[in-house]
Amino acid sequence: MKKINITFIGGGNMAGAIIGGLIHRDFDAKRLCAIEVIPEVREKLAQRFGISSFASADELPRVGDIVVLAVKPQQMRIALKSLIPKLNRQLVLSIAAGIRIADVSRWLGGYERIIRCMPNTPALIGAGISAAYAAPAVTRDERDAAEEVLQAVGKVVWIENENLLDAVTAVSGSGPAYVFYFIEALRDAAKELGLSDATANILAIETFAGAAKLAAHEHDDVIILRKRVTSQGGTTEAALKSMSQNHVKEAIIKAIKAANERSRELGTELGKD
């Protein structure tokens, strides 16, 4: 990445994950700074990463070439007020869930150089997946720069329709919770079958982690991978038949569609003036 400066508006967990990921990739901490209203969080950022942090944008002589919006969605409109006079062709990268580009643009007085993305919580350990959408005014170079920032915490995919970020939220944004739910079910079943708590927990977690790594490593579709594990008349077939009879797959799809609809509703609610 060329020598650019990055300013984070908000210094919470996701901002910390990106900052840490950038520094791990040899990004100079002196070219990073954060605006964070909570003194304890500012101190933590300074101690952990050695970056400068400020209580408000008013304290900055200028903001970075990229401004990462990492405040809670409910705080976004207020946080942007002090940023308006500081912007002059910088790229604004919003990682705030549910906040639409049109609303960010309006709150910034019509600013147009905005990218909206949806990371997920595995970003905290550098294993995230982010989907991003760029407003028409964003250049190819700016997209590339934003992608490098997001790659500090995992993989990045681009979508060409901002409305699909609701689907992304439902699938990968909320997705870790679904995975934890399934791990919980595996663990509870193992305990009911007589395994100790510790053994049940590690079997559930490592089975899920290993299967996910195998799916990522193999070129074959997950359907083929599932069939390879499923011997006719065997134990896996018995379990999958039970899931099919109980409409587990349909229930999961229905749940994700419910999350998608709620994401749309939240976007409308959060964008109200």
Mean pLDDT, each 10-residue run in order, the chain (273 residues)? 88 95 94 95 94 90 93 91 91 94 96 97 96 97 96 97 96 97 98 98 98 95 96 97 98 97 93 81
What pLDDT score does 192 carry? 98
- The verdict on 126 and 236 lying in the same domain is no
pLDDT at 2: 65
pTM of the model: 0.92
One-letter amino acid of 217: H
The rounded distance, in Å, linking the Cα atoms of 47 and 34 is 13
Place of tokens 């997001």: 150
Which amino acid, one-letter code, is at 163?
N
Give the residue numbers spanning the domain of 93.
6-162
Residue at 272 is within a domain: no
Give every strand in the sheet of 128-134, ordered side by side: 52-54, 32-35, 6-9, 66-69, 91-94, 114-118, 128-134, 154-158
Q: List the structure tokens of 228.
A: 């390879």
- Six-digit token pair at 179? 């995975």
In the 3-class helix/strand/coil scheme, how is the chain assigned residue by residue? Answer: CCCCCEEEECCCHHHHHHHHHHHHCCCCHHHEEEECCCHHHHHHHHHHHCCEEECCHHHCCCCCCEEEECCCHHHHHHHHHCCHHHCCCCEEEECCCCCCHHHHHHHCCCCCCEEEEECCHHHHHCCEEEEEEECCCCCHHHHHHHHHHHHHHEEEEECCCHHHHHHHHHHHHCHHHHHHHHHHHHHHHHHHCCCCHHHHHHHHHHHHHHHHHHHHHCCCCHHHHHHHHCCCCCHHHHHHHHHHHCCHHHHHHHHHHHHHHHHHHHHHHHCCC
Q: Are residues 242 and 220 in the same domain?
A: yes
Same domain, 148 and 187: no
* CATH number of the domain encompassing residue 212: 1.10.3730.10
Q: How many domains does the chain have?
A: 2
pLDDT of residue 1: 64
Q: 204 and 111, same structural domain? A: no
180 and 122 in one domain?
Answer: no
CA dihedral 39, 44, 45, 46 (to 10 degrees): 90
What is the structure's pLDDT at 58? 87
Round to whole Å and give the CA distance between 181 and 42: 34
Q: What is the pLDDT of residue 62?
A: 84
The answer on 153 and 194 residing in a single domain is no
Residues 211, 143 within the same domain: no
- pLDDT, position 3: 84
Q: How far apart are CA 264 and CA 267, in angstroms?
A: 5
- Beta carbons of 117 and 132 less than 8 angstroms apart: yes
11 with 106, same domain: the answer is: yes
Q: Tell whether 223 and 195 lie within a shared domain.
A: yes
Specify whether 259 is located in the same domain as 194: yes
Strand partners for 114: 92
